[in-house]
Amino acid sequence: MDPLMDLALLVQHGENREAVLCAEKLLAESYTVEQIVDAVAKGVAILRNKCTIENFQLLDVLLACRAMTEVVDECVAIKLKQQLDSVAENHERAAGTLQRKTIVIGTIQGDVHDLGKHVVATLCRFNNLRVINLGKDVPVEGFITAAGKERADFVGVSSLMSVCLPKIKMIKPALAAQGLGHIKVIGGGSAVQQSTAETLRLDYLAYDAFDGLDYLCKIT
């Protein structure tokens, strides 16, 4: 079977330790970070039918989420750190001396889904961005206050819940009202993807974490 499919199935079944070992092996065999993230995300996303209002099999879903998080933290983050260190070495500059932009990131109020946002935060951190992670269920004012205080260059907002989309629309005007209209707002997550950047007043709507990272790096 396709080894990436094996990894997705391990995550789907909540086999966290086996998933970590499998991902480590694949990364050592030169599979990319993007392929690993894609596989583990598929392993979680497949559980959508166990996560509805009518049918909520919390344990199965949470075990898969744990397996995905462990792969991201124990394999993906380490691989990205190695890549960042080697770039810093090759360019003969310490990572600390590179000019860093700041992103304030969170999941919008009313939504507790945070796996996708965690992937984005991890990718950003190891691509030389300073990340202020506000967590989940964050009110619009939370983004605005943190963006001002941290002198952010970007606000990243995630939502997987359609009912929360109206709140996302409020971020850009609320920033502008505080004189922070120059901050770029980028959105992602399955609910956001079903809308448009224009409707949600986003500067960029990302189709996945890597698409979002490309946008951030282009204007960094």
The residues that touch ligand B12, with contacts defined as CB under 6 A, are 41, 44-45, 47-48, 51-53, 56, 58, 61-62, 65, 110-117, 119-120, 156-158, 160-162, 186-191, 206, 208-209, 212
Q: With respect to ligand B12, which residue has the nearer C-beta, 22 or 64?
A: 64
Q: With respect to ligand B12, which residue has the nearer C-beta, 19 or 186?
A: 186
Q: With respect to ligand B12, which residue has the nearer C-beta, 14 or 156?
A: 156
Q: With respect to ligand B12, which residue has the nearer C-beta, 14 or 188?
A: 188
Q: With respect to ligand B12, which residue has the nearer C-beta, 88 or 208?
A: 208
Q: With respect to ligand B12, which residue has the nearer C-beta, 51 or 174?
A: 51
Give the chain's count of helices (H) and strands (E): 12, 5
CB of 160 to ligand B12, least distance (A): 4
Q: What is residue 160's three-state secondary structure?
A: coil
CB of 64 to ligand B12, least distance (A): 7
CB of 172 to ligand B12, least distance (A): 14
CB of 69 to ligand B12, least distance (A): 8
Is the four-CA dihedral 85, 11, 134, 117 of positive or negative sign? positive
The token pair at 128 is 């030389």
The span from the first CA to the last CA of the chain, in angstroms, equals 40
CB of 126 to ligand B12, least distance (A): 15
* Cβ-Cβ contacts under 8 Å for 72 (sequence gap 6 or more): 37, 40, 118, 119, 122
How far, CA to CA in Å, does 123 sit from each of 47, 62, 68?
24, 22, 15
Q: What is residue 54's three-state secondary structure?
A: coil
Q: What residues pair up with 131 in beta bridges, in sequence order? A: 103
CB of 177 to ligand B12, least distance (A): 22
How many other β-carbons are positioned within 10 Å of the β-carbon of residue 211?
13
